[in-house]
Amino acid sequence: MRDSRIGGEDKQSGLVQGTLHMLILKTLALEPMHGYGIGVRLEQISKGVFQVNAGSLFPALRRLERDGLITGNWRFTENNRRAKYYTLTASGRAKLKRETRDWAMQTTAIARILEASLGEW
Amino acid sequence: MPLLRRFIGGFRGLFRKTRAEQELDAELREFLDTAIEQKIRTGLSRGTAVRAARMELGNVEAVKDRVRDVGWESMLESFWRDVRYALRTLRRQPAFTLVALLILTPSIGLITTLLTLFSDTVLRPWSGVADVARVVRVYGIAPNLAERVGLSHPEYRYLAEHARAVAGLAAWRNETVRLDDDGDGATRITLMTANFFDVLTSNLERGRSFRAADDAPGAPQPVAVISADLWRRRFARDPQLSADESGSTECRSKLLVWRLERSRDRKAALRRSGFLWAP
């Protein structure tokens, strides 16, 4: 939520602004993956709610790689095709932890506000 | 650290542009191939799968542009492209370039001159002092009036002896006097403690600065510092006046000349401080 640079990317993906980086980090925390795989995994886990297109995904991957949060290595896929696999770095893991904590705090606070009734004030 | 990483990453990107482009091409190709393969697996015909995968990838050049825009180096590249384009255009239209230069050059010169004058006369009235940023003014507060007032001499002496936050403390008071030959009105003078010029780290062009004994009660001979402007205007650059040993009979003082390096400094200082300083 703090990183507003990816606003444009999020708009195209239907994501809450600033969450694409966090979701990519979370996906890579599960296992190293290539670009297409990350997009598919996000769509699967969100049950089709988030569809991240290449125009959003690749700039986000470039930013994360540039910031040292993920690292990319070329290797062969199970279909014997060369692909760039991204892995979470230690900084990326720490960043994901912070972002997840912040996100939980914010969603809890928003939920409290939305569920509040007049008598509670 | 992320800032440093971004800077280094951008710098690296500038020099490994071809490799980065090739990697991006390969990555997008792989994205398309995998997408086609996955769609065929779900039962689509090859043609339909290719169309669907292309739609999913979108405009490849647009995607590449968005990836290139990540990082500060893209702005630098864009700026450099604009500069080269501008230079090419100017070279193709020499007449236009000449007219533009003839208009812009004197205009920029005029504006720079005006801004320099404005800066020296209005924005930097403390010129002549070595390090203006370190100079602070100390006031007293009158409890009943709740306003700033000057300090008494004993208060000044106490502060000068005990204050540790400042390198030096000097005091002054402005007066208006009539010099012996003042035909055209009064002269503004500033009475000050002997360390005034030392605290402000101002240098004298001639003679010596005040000594501690100069402002002690019963000092043997009164001394004064005059501005270079007063020395020239009123005393016709008389070298005797600025000599350390000789005294001016008119002022009964040794006259020393405060060096102000440029004429605009001198004017600014005169406007603010008067032009005779005495302990």
In percent, the amount of chain B with pLDDT more than 70 equals 72
- The minimal CB distance from A58 to the residues B6, B35, B67 is found for B67
**pLDDT-flagged residues of chain A (< 70):** 1-17, 118-121
* Cβ-based contacts under 8 A for chains A and B: 69
* Per-position DSSP letters for A9-56, written without gaps between them: HHHHHTPPTT-HHHHHHHHHHHS-EEHHHHHHHHHHHTTTS----HHH
- B258, B227 in Cβ contact below 8 A? yes
Q: How far apart are CA A73 and CA A75, in angstroms?
A: 6
At residue B275, the pLDDT reads 62
CB B211 within 8 A of CB B222: no
**Which residue in chain B has the smallest CA separation from A36?**
B31
The residue that leads in pLDDT, B7 or A61, is A61
| Chain A residues with beta carbon closer than 8 angstroms to that of B59 | 55
DSSP H or E segment with residue A87: strand A82-88
Tell me the two tokens of residue A89: 């770095």
pLDDT grade for B225, boundaries at 50, 70 and 90:
confident
Work out the average pLDDT over B25-54.
Answer: 91
Option in B27, B30, B66 nearest A55 (CB) = B66
pLDDT above 80 (res B209): no
Model confidence at B88: pLDDT above 60: yes
Share of chain B above pLDDT 90, in %: 18
CA of B2: which chain A residue's CA is closest?
A67
The residue with tokens 């195209």 is: A12
User: Could you write out the DSSP letters of every residue in B11-53?
Assistant: HHHHHSHHHHHHHHHHHHHHHHHHHHHHHHHTT--HHHHHHHH
Structure confidence at residue B232 as a pLDDT band (50, 70, 90): confident
Q: Pick the more confident residue, B247 or B134.
A: B134
Residues of A in contact with B63 (CB under 8 A): 54-55, 58
Q: Kindly state whether B23 is in contact with chain A, defined as any CB-CB distance less than 8 angstroms.
A: yes
Q: Which residue of B has its CA nearest to A84?
A: B27
Give residue B242's pLDDT. 57
Structure confidence at residue A11 (pLDDT): 52
| Of B236 and B192, more confident | B192
Band of residue B181 on the pLDDT scale cut at 50, 70, 90: low
On the question of pLDDT at B246 being above 60, the answer is no
Query: What pLDDT score does B51 carry?
Result: 92
Label residues B104-121 b or e (16+ Cβ within 10 Å = b). Answer: eeeeeeeeeeeeeeeebe
Please tell me which residue of chain A has the smallest CA distance to B10.
A66
pLDDT at B244: 47
Over residues B26-36, mean pLDDT = 91
Of residues B226 and B172, the one with the higher pLDDT is B172
pLDDT higher than 50, residue B19: yes
Q: Which helix (H) or strand (E) holds B206?
A: strand B204-206
- Residue B55 or A9, more confident: B55
User: From residue B216, how far is each of A86, A106, B167, B190, B245 by CA, in Å?
Assistant: 80, 70, 21, 17, 19
Q: What is the pLDDT of residues B127-147, one digit of tens each?
A: 567 777 788 888 887 777 777
pLDDT at residue B249, rounded to an integer: 35
Q: Does B70 touch chain A (CB under 8 A)?
A: yes
**What confidence score (pLDDT) does residue A121 get?**
56
Closest chain B residue by Cα to residue A55 = B63
Q: First vs last Cα of chain A: how many Å apart? A: 27
Task: Note the pLDDT of residue A12.
Answer: 53
Question: Would you say residue B11 has pLDDT above 70?
Answer: no
What average pLDDT does the segment B44-64 reach?
Answer: 89
Region for residue B274 given its phi and psi (left: phi exceeds 0; alpha: psi -120 to 50; beta: otherwise): left
Given pLDDT bands bounded at 50, 70 and 90, which one contains residue B113?
very high
Residue B208 pLDDT:
74
Given an 8 Å threshold on Cβ–Cβ distance, is A81 in contact with B2? no
- Three-class DSSP category at B109: helix
**Mind telling me how many Å the CA of B56 is from chain A's nearest CA?**
6
Q: Which residues of B touch A40 (CB under 8 A)?
A: 38
- A83 vs B: CB within 8 A: yes
